[in-house]
Structure 1
Amino acid sequence: MSEPFDAVDVIAAKRDRQELSDAQIDWVIDAYTRGAVAEEQMSALAMAIYLNGMSQGEIARWTDAMIRSGERLDFSGLSRPTSDKHSTGGVGDKITLPLAPLVAACGVAVPQLSGRGLGHTGGTLDKLEAIPGWRASLSNDEMMRQLEDVGAVICAAGAGLAPADKKLYALRDVTGTVSCVPLIASSIMSKKIAEGTGSLVLDVKVGSGAFMKDLDGARELASTMVRLGKDAGVHTVALLTNMQTPLGLTVGNALEVRESVEVLAGGGPPDVVELTVALAREMVAGAGVSGVDPADVLASGRGMDAWRRMIQAQGGDPDAGLPVAKESHTVLAPADGVLVQLDALAVGVASWRLGAGRARKEDPVQAGAGIELHAKPGAVVQGGEPLMTLHTDEPERFARALEALEGGYLIAPEGSRPDLMPIVVERLA
């Protein structure tokens, strides 16, 4: 069939800093999805967008075209309102695990379509697959049933949701066009809007372990996504949250599951509890449920009950022992003093090199690999005391992980104070 546009003309328009028309955007997304626009042409267009940006109108239309490339889920038949959370990814970010069952226990359905880790940021599905028997792939019918019965589901997105994004994401990954606000915002929001949730809370990380290293970039991404959500009729709020230092005391798959269960049992690290409760309050309010405080629900143990039911519904055994790595290596504090810095990126890369993450989408991950932190910034440490323990099945991985940690932590004389960002830095609505 003859095409209404020529890909070269669309590329040239964006190269020359022109605004693409709605018709051009609709055509290019559709034609790329069906293979009429070649990979090298889409690569050129992605780079032109990366270099020259997009207007808010272009971003909104691009997002809408990606949504229309596939199916849309409809949760209107459920007996309770829906709310979802998306995190832009970080180190030790296990928040989805305690959050989904906690919000479900507050009377809100949580359809949490999650992904796998790539590079130094962990993936929710990889973490949950450390639980014996648990499965990530559910049909739409299974997902609907579980949302009605349990109230929460964490699973892989089906191939039918925003297929244009799936194709474009893989392309951006290999063409140096990942860190581009219009392309990140449209990628995230096309999936979340197609998913059909009524309310959405965005956890936009900021700091060394995040995609957005500085506050201005994080703010731009968050406000772009909030506007896209609102334009699509989804109640959308964003929290900018701290990713200078890892979240919690564990980084890795099984290690993070264990810590998540501790949070649901009423313990766990204070930063993980604080962020879980803050996001839960936003999700519950966004869904229009009042008179319920997630902090009280967490303390009552009802979140833990929902967790057990959620894991069992997907074939997992909530009582099974979690995998433990075969080898460990302890990093000791070099001197007495105060730990004033623990860089999230350094810890994330070290954990990845231990086998907790993957370099390519098809790589396997080790369930037991990762890092346990024995101190967080602000802690007084003694020389020779354990700072962190590294875990892996393959001891030859320790050397490269230790290289990643060089310069990644700083111990200052006693009395020093770390320059700490709060957990929740800002709220955008």
Structure 2
Amino acid sequence: MSVAEVHSIVELIRAKRDKRELSENQIKAFISKLVCTNEEDRVHDSQIGAFLMAAFLNGFTFLETSYLTQAMTYSGFTFSWPQEWRGRVVDKHSTGGVGDKVSLILAPALAACGLKVPMVSGRSLDFTGGTLDKLESIPGFSVSFSPDKMRKIVEDAGCCIVGQTEDLVPADKLLYRIRDTTATVEHEDLISASVISKKAAESLDALVLDIKAGSGAFMKDIESARHLALNMVKIGNTFGMKVTGVITRMDTPLGNAVGNALEVAEAIDALQNKGPPDLHEIVLTLGGVLIQSTGYAESLDEGKKQIEESIASGSALKIFHRMIIGQGTSPTVAQELCYGDKWKCLPRAQSIRNITAESSGYLENIDAMAVAKVCHALGCGRTQPGMSVKFEPGVVLRKKPGDLVAQGDILMELHNQEISNGVLVNLIKSLQDACLIVQNPPEPKPLIIETLV
């Protein structure tokens, strides 16, 4: 960089350090230098780290967050969809939870209702499972496609679920790499810019945000979740997207299955109208929000009914079948997976151990974070970017909060392989400790906490 350019970057860092508001031009220049292909002109990692830490400590104003999101969005490729899709292109983002396989059901259900869903998803992060990791447990399924191929899949199936391409919001990838190594990940403004920039680059008409709150979420309390949701809704609206935030409870795992292949199996059950009630409720709510947002339903209840019908009629399952073939799965495997014995296709764990109740009473809670940590120890997630994950292991809940249990009843199954007995004993103990059994029926807690427009 020239002396003047170095000085401008240093001035930007100093301004944020001193709690001064950055201008749109300053932020644009910083992002431009961040993604510069000429190494000599690129901003240094040390400067990125200094900027992120200053922002983490002092925060951004709404204008600064908007400028940052805009600059990140247009730092690379942005999608352009056919005119006839106008008003129908939608997506969903979740802040991550335990057992959250909603995308696998929601994308085909929305497509069956006539919407277009070019879903760009992620991999496992910290304790949360990754949608792409789950789908890759399906033999032949690919998540890497060019924009043209992605558009073709959406044309044919109505939806796709893919990974972020190299040229889609490259600034986000570069910033996240430094955030991950400088303890600046957990910041509301940086999270908002990261999420909304990727969704804005998809050129969406409507977006629903599933903001998790609870022990098994990044946002531990409802107020923090609400604040993040409102921030992302406001920033998303600056792009012309109709953005809705839905705050959902994440104290207990969602559904019954936690683990890559196990969650795919449960998602297929749900598409066959045999899924657990809590998972079904969230799919209906998020789907209903998007159908109402695009004007294809006059009310949330009407939108939810459309999603429910797409599942009950089997049309959502047909879309899922078509989508996985479009993304590389052979027609034979897809047929067996959707309409035959799915466990002939999906990888299974070698051993299943039952976790039993140590006393009688009512199951008040199953600590989602404890279950997530056990699954992480089994290899379901990754501790470093680029690590491989295991598809087979995980945990299956056989009881849910509110159930009456007797001593010795099976509460959960631990699906495992290739771990020592000593480790296994510790994991079983962790799962038993995760279950809180009380003598009186617990007060039910709503799964859908709040909807923010």
Measured against the shorter chain, the TM-score band is over 0.9
The offset of 1:120, in angstroms, is: 1.1
Q: Give the counterpart letter for 2:111 in structure 1.
A: A
Q: Which has the higher helix share?
A: 2
Output aligned runs, 1:95-110, within 5 Å: 95-110=102-117
Query: Do the aligned partners of 1:199 and 1:235 also contact (CA within 8 Å) in 2?
Result: yes
- Partner residue of 1:204 out of 211, 214, 222: 211
Give the structure 2 partner of residue 194 of structure 1. 201
- Partner residue of 2:315 out of 287, 302, 305: 302
The offset of 1:6, in angstroms, is: 3.1
Query: Do the aligned partners of 2:133 and 2:389 also contact (CA within 8 Å) in 1?
Result: yes
The offset of 1:146, in angstroms, is: 1.3
Q: What is the distance in 2 between the residues matched to 1:84 and 1:94?
A: 15
Aligned length: 427
Q: Give the counterpart letter for 1:347 in structure 2.
A: V
Give the structure 2 partner of residue 150 of structure 1. 157
The offset of 1:69, in angstroms, is: 1.0
Q: Please identify, of 345-354 and 9-18, the stretch whose mean Cα deviation from structure 2 is larger.
A: 9-18
Query: Do the aligned partners of 2:113 and 2:310 also contact (CA within 8 Å) in 1?
Result: yes
Query: Do the aligned partners of 2:95 and 2:218 also contact (CA within 8 Å) in 1?
Result: yes
Q: Give the counterpart letter for 1:98 in structure 2.
A: I
Give the structure 2 partner of residue 8 of structure 1. 10
The offset of 1:298, in angstroms, is: 1.5
Q: Relative to 1, partners in 2 of residues 1:314 and 1:78: Cα closer, same or farther, differing over 3 Å?
A: farther
- Partner residue of 2:376 out of 336, 341, 352: 352
Give the structure 2 partner of residue 171 of structure 1. 178
The offset of 1:309, in angstroms, is: 0.7
Give the structure 2 partner of residue 134 of structure 1. 141
The offset of 1:399, in angstroms, is: 4.2
Deviation readout 1:351-410 (Å, 9 max, x if unpaired): 111111111111111111110011111111111111111112222252453464464221
Q: What is the distance in 2 between the residues matched to 1:261 and 1:244?
A: 24
Deviation readout 1:3-24 (Å, 9 max, x if unpaired): 4443332222111111111121
Give the structure 2 partner of residue 20 of structure 1. 22
Output aligned runs, 1:366-377, within 5 Å: 366-377=390-401
Q: Relative to 1, partners in 2 of residues 1:220 and 1:355: Cα closer, same or farther, differing over 3 Å?
A: same
Q: What is the distance in 2 between the residues matched to 1:207 and 1:17?
A: 32
Q: Please identify, of 86-95 and 374-383, the stretch whose mean Cα deviation from structure 2 is larger.
A: 374-383
Give the structure 1 partner of residue 192 of structure 2. 185
Give the structure 2 partner of residue 263 of structure 1. 270
Could you say what secondary structure the match of 1:218 adopts? helix
Give the structure 2 partner of residue 417 of structure 1. 442
RMSD across aligned positions (CA): 1.6
2:43 is the counterpart of 1:37: yes
- Partner residue of 2:57 out of 43, 51, 66: 51
Q: Relative to 1, partners in 2 of residues 1:99 and 1:195: Cα closer, same or farther, differing over 3 Å?
A: same
The offset of 1:182, in angstroms, is: 0.4
Q: Give the counterpart letter for 2:373 in structure 1.
A: V
Q: Relative to 1, partners in 2 of residues 1:399 and 1:41: Cα closer, same or farther, differing over 3 Å?
A: farther
Q: Relative to 1, partners in 2 of residues 1:111 and 1:43: Cα closer, same or farther, differing over 3 Å?
A: same
Q: What is the distance in 2 between the residues matched to 1:49 and 1:379?
A: 46
Output aligned runs, 1:320-331, within 5 Å: 320=337, 321-331=345-355
Give the structure 2 partner of residue 74 of structure 1. 80
2:124 is the counterpart of 1:125: no
Give the structure 2 partner of residue 315 of structure 1. 328
Could you say what secondary structure the match of 1:348 adopts? helix
Deviation readout 1:206-226 (Å, 9 max, x if unpaired): 111111111111111111111
- What TM-score, normalized to structure 1? 0.96
Query: Do the aligned partners of 1:370 and 1:392 also contact (CA within 8 Å) in 2?
Result: yes
The offset of 1:130, in angstroms, is: 0.8
- What TM-score, normalized to structure 2? 0.91
Identity %: 42
Give the structure 2 partner of residue 215 of structure 1. 222
Could you say what secondary structure the match of 1:225 adopts? helix
Query: Do the aligned partners of 1:373 and 1:389 also contact (CA within 8 Å) in 2?
Result: yes
Q: What is the distance in 2 between the residues matched to 1:152 and 1:128?
A: 14
Q: Please identify, of 404-413 and 328-337, the stretch whose mean Cα deviation from structure 2 is larger.
A: 404-413
2:247 is the counterpart of 1:234: no
Query: Do the aligned partners of 1:14 and 1:20 also contact (CA within 8 Å) in 2?
Result: yes
Q: What is the distance in 2 between the residues matched to 1:131 and 1:116?
A: 15
Query: Do the aligned partners of 1:355 and 1:392 also contact (CA within 8 Å) in 2?
Result: no
Q: Give the counterpart letter for 2:327 in structure 1.
A: Q
Q: Give the counterpart letter for 1:401 in structure 2.
A: L
Query: Do the aligned partners of 1:327 and 1:394 also contact (CA within 8 Å) in 2?
Result: no
Q: Relative to 1, partners in 2 of residues 1:167 and 1:403: Cα closer, same or farther, differing over 3 Å?
A: farther
Give the structure 2 partner of residue 385 of structure 1. 409
* Structure 2: 5+ residue stretches without partners: 338-344
Q: What is the distance in 1 between the residues matched to 2:279 and 2:436?
A: 23
Q: Relative to 1, partners in 2 of residues 1:64 and 1:21: Cα closer, same or farther, differing over 3 Å?
A: same
Query: Do the aligned partners of 1:349 and 1:401 also contact (CA within 8 Å) in 2?
Result: no
The offset of 1:78, in angstroms, is: 4.9
Q: What is the distance in 1 between the residues matched to 2:385 and 2:405?
A: 39
* Structure 1: 5+ residue stretches without partners: none
Query: Do the aligned partners of 2:105 and 2:267 also contact (CA within 8 Å) in 1?
Result: yes
Q: What is the distance in 2 between the residues matched to 1:59 and 1:73?
A: 22
Q: Relative to 1, partners in 2 of residues 1:168 and 1:406: Cα closer, same or farther, differing over 3 Å?
A: farther
Deviation readout 1:118-164 (Å, 9 max, x if unpaired): 22100001101111111111111111111111101011121111101
Q: Please identify, of 386-395 and 107-116, the stretch whose mean Cα deviation from structure 2 is larger.
A: 386-395
Q: Give the counterpart letter for 2:20 in structure 1.
A: Q
Q: Relative to 1, partners in 2 of residues 1:298 and 1:63: Cα closer, same or farther, differing over 3 Å?
A: same
Q: What is the distance in 1 between the residues matched to 2:123 and 2:214?
A: 21
Output aligned runs, 1:241-280, within 5 Å: 241-280=248-287
The offset of 1:107, in angstroms, is: 0.3
